[in-house]
């Protein structure tokens, strides 16, 4: 059952309570409707991927009530602060390096060292974000491969019955997603053109590069610089493990490994998804500390979120250039 909540104090309070309890709530912004979850709760974030039917873990945008709250979680330099004065709130998403103490789940950023942050320019969304008091991870509230929703009818068409509630925020004014600007590299790069024109950014920053064309053929798997790959080699579909290997376990662990990280003892793909990136990172550092030669990953069923887990593991195991 998906509840439709009105844009009143009461509706916003109910939406906030659901989000804090780890439920999914769609809400409107000035660009498109977002499918929100508590970004610090990895299982809630895993549920976003499940509900959207995403075949892989794309990094999600984290929404905040103001720039100050966002910059408590990421490292903002002079350019980020300058842009924030004008465009936070606004249709601009900034990709910045995570702070070490950042409480956002690794799954939210698909395991990357960076995080995309945004402050929506919409009174209901801002009231909700203030009320929740936690960052909200939200991709567009549509099924994977369908167009972004700009009304609650669009949201319900795709996600009715799969999410706890929709906060009715009226139709979205812009109808086009936010512009995603990466400030974590040497030069600012527009990763996704959107509601804020690149020219406006150039006027403020000078040099701004256009990123990889959306939809262009991806480079060799595992080679995308922006994707986290463990430094230890990864072996897939392991049915045995040696003392010189670190084991990524799913279900009852194989005996004999030099180190073990359990994705889900009970063999639950949602739990496994929520622990995947933390597990890869831990095994990589622990394995190297112990002088192990690689990571052995036990098979994960290729169903529901298992698809996305296997996609990520295949890329981690692909030969490096």
DSSP assignment letter at 183: -
140 binds Mg ion (CB under 5 A): yes
150 binds ligand TXA (CB under 6 A): no
115 binds ligand TXA (CB under 6 A): yes
Provide the greatest CA pair distance for the chain: 60
179 binds Mg ion (CB under 5 A): no
Q: Please give the radius of gyration of the chain, using alpha carbons only, rounded to the nearest integer.
A: 20
Judge residue 55's burial from the number of C-beta atoms within 10 Å of its C-beta, 0-12 exposed, 13-18 middle, 19 or more buried.
middle
For residue 89, how far is the Cα from the chain centroid?
20
Report, in Å, the least distance between residue 28 CB and Mg ion: 15
Asked if residue 27 lies in contact with residue 36, where contact means CB atoms within 8 angstroms, the answer is: yes
Asked if residue 60 lies in contact with residue 45, where contact means CB atoms within 8 angstroms, the answer is: yes
Of all helices (H) and strands (E), which one includes residue 181? Answer: strand 179-182
Report, in Å, the least distance between residue 109 CB and ligand TXA: 5
139 binds ligand TXA (CB under 6 A): yes
112 binds ligand TXA (CB under 6 A): yes
d(Cα 198, Cα 248) in Å, to the nearest integer?
42
Site for Mg ion in 40-99 (CB under 5 A): none
Report, in Å, the least distance between residue 4 CB and ligand TXA: 18
Task: Point out the residue whose Cβ comes nearest to Mg ion.
Answer: 140
Which residue, 52 or 275, is less far from ligand TXA as judged by CB? 52
Which residues of the chain form contacts with ligand TXA (CB under 6 A)? 29, 31-32, 34, 58-61, 93, 95, 109, 112, 114-116, 118, 120, 138-140, 177-178, 180, 182, 191-192, 226
């Amino acid at each position: 059952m998906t509840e439709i909540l009105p844009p009143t104090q009461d509706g916003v309070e109910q939406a906030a309570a659901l989000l804090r309890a780890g439920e999914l709530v769609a809400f409107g912004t000035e660009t498109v409707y977002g499918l929100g979850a508590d970004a610090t709760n990895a299982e809630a974030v895993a549920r976003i991927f499940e509900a959207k039917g995403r075949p892989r873990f794309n990094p999600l945008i984290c929404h905040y009530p103001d720039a100050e709250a966002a910059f408590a979680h990421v490292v903002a330099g002079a350019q980020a602060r300058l842009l924030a004065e004008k465009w936070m709130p606004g249709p601009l998403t900034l990709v910045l390096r995570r702070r070490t103490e950042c409480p956002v789940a690794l799954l939210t950023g698909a395991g990357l060292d960076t995080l995309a942050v945004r402050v929506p320019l919409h009174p209901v969304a801002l009231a909700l974000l203030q009320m929740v008091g936690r960052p909200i991870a939200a991709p567009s509230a549509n099924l994977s491969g369908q167009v972004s929703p700009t009304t609650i009818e669009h949201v319900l068409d795709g996600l009715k019955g799969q999410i706890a509630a929709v906060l009715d925020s009226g139709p979205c004014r812009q109808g086009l997603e936010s512009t995603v600007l990466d400030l974590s590299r040497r030069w600012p790069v527009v990763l996704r053109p959107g509601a804020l024109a690149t020219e406006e950014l150039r006027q403020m920053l000078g040099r701004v590069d256009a990123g990889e064309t959306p939809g262009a053929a991806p480079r060799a798997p595992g080679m995308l610089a922006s994707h986290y790959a463990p430094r230890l080699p990864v072996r897939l579909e392991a049915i045995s493990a040696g003392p010189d290997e670190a084991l990524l376990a799913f279900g009852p662990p194989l005996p004999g490994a030099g180190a073990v990280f359990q994705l889900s003892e009970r063999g639950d793909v949602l739990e496994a998804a929520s622990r995947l990136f933390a597990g890869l990172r831990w095994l990589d550092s622990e394995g190297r500390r112990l002088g192990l030669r690689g990571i052995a990953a036990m098979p994960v069923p290729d169903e529901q979120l298992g698809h996305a887990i296997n996609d990520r593991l295949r890329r981690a195991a692909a030969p490096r250039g």
